[in-house]
Chains A and B, each alone.
Chain A
């Protein structure tokens, strides 16, 4: 079983739609959680951290469910510019950082 698993997609949604991605992790002792965004042929960049209480940044909402060991990312009112691959990132502790393989999102006009 992979340490971090994501649905690879692709998710194809129209502009204005709401879309949600989930990511499961296997190490129950994991400490920190993040979502990174990677545009086609570009490097990953931090989108947002995921806090235990859940957090929101504009149209983006991240949630953590420790009991079920998953994190989620919700994108409301999707824009064409949201088209990208979204990487789930988990830090079990120390230096180790585990990246998921990513979920591809295509937002269409």
Chain B
């Protein structure tokens, strides 16, 4: 079975500082995608960053970057220069089938608060 675990239910960070959110996963598939989605209070799910398992290079999107450790099945999200607008729930998600089937498996989420 595929699972995604986020061990930090809540985190807080000061504005302009850096924070890392943790995620571990389990899958027996060799081809898969990993995602971080953000859900602000407006509740819409927004893609933050995506990583293909076959790519060794860690994905980056502006202030957001990941540390993908395939052997350890770890996929952490680093947010640099945190901004007040980063306050949201963050969900780690796994697509075990390389896009060939329907569902993403989501973790329980980490609630991030950015404080001024």
Real complex partners, A and B? no
User: CB within 8 Å of A: which residues of B?
Assistant: none
